[in-house]
Amino acid sequence: MKLSRRQAIHVSCTTLAGLSLGRRPTELYARPQQSAQAGPDALVDTVVRNIAPLPLLPDGSAPEHSSAEAGPISEPTLWRYTGGEPPAIDFDYRNLKVKVDGRRTAKRTGTLRFADLEALPEHSQITLLQCGAPNPRGVVKWTGVRFADLADLLEVQSFAHYCRIVASDGYWIEEGIETMRHPQVMLAWKLNDEPLPPKHGAPLRLVMPFRYGARSLKAVQEIYFTATSFPLPALPAD
């Protein structure tokens, strides 16, 4: 297929975006090319997805449980971009290397290692992991550090408003920095007092118990901060 100059530039820019965001370039480029399907010309009733309830406290935080309630996470577990299997990485948290890019909104950037996390106050919490589907699900004990303490270590500035976390399988999430500084948001390397197993996100997992499990991203590989959102590059003019 022969591309016009405009299309070629767009592909190049989108490819670079895909590499920087940890996503496949084809995923980023293909979406805008899909033709919109004709829909009804009036509001109609539709089938609503059946999502398992996520119990939260009135302030929006997740209930914390006793140690007696902690147990395993039910199957199946989910990896989105590696055929359902954990990515081929080093799962030992003592060897972890996480890229930190502050986009000039943090004083410390580069490679985050376990020694950096180990120097922070250790934090544990026992909360429910609940996906939108009935499973996986489980009340478990997480051990690691609060994300807010990491942000302080990195000296993330007050004008940083957004954070993007990228997993080793290419999946990523974005949240506002205020949400990331919630005291229940943490980076965990232990599950029920044992090192995280690969299927549950070793070597380092983001934990957000007041969100569905898809936001508790596994195998954290990159952390970005920015003062603005993370848009794709604009299509250059001819």
Residue 71: domain span? 67-226
Look at residue 73 in the predicted model and tell me its pLDDT.
93
186 with 102, same domain: the answer is yes
7 with 98, same domain: the answer is no
Nearest-10 crossing angle of helices 5-21, 25-33 = 130
Structural Rg of the chain based on CA atoms? 20
Is 13 domain-assigned? yes
Is 47 buried (19+), middle (13-18) or exposed (0-12) by CB count in 10 A?
A: exposed
237 against 172, higher pLDDT? 172
Sign of CA dihedral 11, 15, 18, 24: positive
Look at residue 9 in the predicted model and tell me its pLDDT.
45
Tens digits of per-residue pLDDT, 163-172?
Answer: 999 999 989 9
Is a pLDDT exceeding 60 seen at residue 7? no
Tens digits of per-residue pLDDT, 207-229?
Answer: 999 999 999 999 999 999 999 87
Residue 224 to residues 101, 125, 156, 229: CA-CA distances in angstroms? 5, 25, 11, 11
The total of structural domains in the chain comes to 2
Angle at 73 between CA 72 and CA 78, to 5 degrees: 150
Among 131-135, 147-151, 213-217, the range scoring the smallest mean pLDDT is: 131-135
Is 235 domain-assigned? no
* Average pLDDT value over all residues in the chain: 85
DSSP characters over 134-166? S-SEEEEEEEEEEHHHHHHHTTB-TT--EEEEE
Give the CATH number of the domain where residue 117 resides: 3.90.420.10
77 with 193, same domain: the answer is yes
pLDDT, average across residues 135-157: 96
Is 56 domain-assigned? no
For a pLDDT cut of 70, what percent of the chain falls above it?
A: 81
Measuring CA to CA, which residue among 188, 147, 149 is closest to residue 164? 147
207 with 125, same domain: the answer is yes
73 with 178, same domain: the answer is yes
Is 59 domain-assigned? no
Look at residue 231 in the predicted model and tell me its pLDDT.
60
90 with 161, same domain: the answer is yes
82 with 139, same domain: the answer is yes
List CB contacts of 47: < 8 A, sequence separation 6 or more: none
Look at residue 36 in the predicted model and tell me its pLDDT.
58
153 with 89, same domain: the answer is yes
7 with 74, same domain: the answer is no
Compute the distance between CA of residue 216 and CA of residue 185 in angstroms, rounded to an integer: 9
- Using DSSP bridges, classify how beta strands 162-167 and 220-226 pair: parallel, antiparallel or unpaired: antiparallel
pLDDT, average across residues 87-95: 95
Q: How confident is the model at residue 89 (pLDDT cuts 50, 70, 90)?
A: very high
Is 5 domain-assigned? yes
Is 156 domain-assigned? yes
Largest CA distance in the chain: 65
Residue 147 to residues 38, 168, 186: CA-CA distances in angstroms? 44, 19, 5
pTM of the model as a whole = 0.79
18 with 83, same domain: the answer is no
Q: How confident is the model at residue 24 (pLDDT cuts 50, 70, 90)?
A: very low
19 with 97, same domain: the answer is no
25 with 73, same domain: the answer is no
Is 53 domain-assigned? no
Look at residue 230 in the predicted model and tell me its pLDDT.
66
Compute the distance between CA of residue 207 and CA of residue 196 in angstroms, rounded to an integer: 12
Look at residue 81 in the predicted model and tell me its pLDDT.
76
List CB contacts of 200: < 8 A, sequence separation 6 or more: 73, 77, 191, 218
Tens digits of per-residue pLDDT, 28-62?
Answer: 333 344 555 678 899 999 999 888 889 999 999 99
Tokens of 133: 């589907």
Block residue for tokens 């084809």:
26
Is 52 domain-assigned? no
